[in-house]
Structure 1
Amino acid sequence: MPGRCDGNRGAVAIRPRRRKGDAMRAFDGLPAPLRRWMAGAVLPWSPESCLAIWKRASDPQDAVARLNRAERATLEKAGQ
């Protein structure tokens, strides 16, 4: 639809969800390597979902690898 403002989501076909709470405050409370990953992510991830993946990892490198796999899988699912 021409003229429609999609924000920073670009052409991603994933439906947005309403979030509760202060996303910026949650983002600011994340570990620095996780904030860096989120800043360069292709998709608009929530701090809560990223932190859940981060906590399951054994170390920061494993966490980044898990986040990259999750993002790739989500993009494939969305047909990107």
Structure 2
Amino acid sequence: MTGRNHRSALRKRRAVPLHRFDQLPPELRRWLQDAALPWSVAQAERIWSKALRETGGNRAQALARLDRAQASAMARDARAIWGDGYPAPH
């Protein structure tokens, strides 16, 4: 039996096979496990790869780029929820 509460207007996303996650570099897997936001493997991999290209393969700088991307996304979400005045100036 399917009720009305089992339907959603959200688009269905294809699940990423676990082997894709398992094939990521250890540093990126660790970052995803500790991330504050629910990043997809594809999103994280895209940022990681671009950062590695731009930094000549520097993994520490690629991780820093992921941190900046996450901070930016969190700030954008906070402004959308609490308004343009968030975060308040110190």
TM value normalised by structure 1: 0.70
**Residue equivalent to 1:54:** 48
Identity of aligned residues (%): 37
Q: Aligned-pair RMSD on alpha carbons?
A: 2.0
> How much has 1:75 moved relative to structure 2?
0.4
CA contact (8 A) 1:53 1:66 kept: yes
User: Any runs of at least 4 consecutive aligned residues in structure 1 with deviations exceeding 3 A, and if so which?
Assistant: none
1:1-80 alignment to 2 at 5 Å? 18-57=12-51, 58=55, 59-79=58-78
Which structure would you say has the larger Rg?
2
- Number of aligned positions between the proteins: 65
CA contact (8 A) 2:16 2:41 kept: no
Higher relative CO (Cα under 8 Å, sequence separation at least 6) belongs to 1
- For residues 2-41 of structure 1, the C-alpha deviation after alignment (integer angstroms, 9 at most, x for no partner) is xxxxxxxxxxxxxx87432434222111110000001100
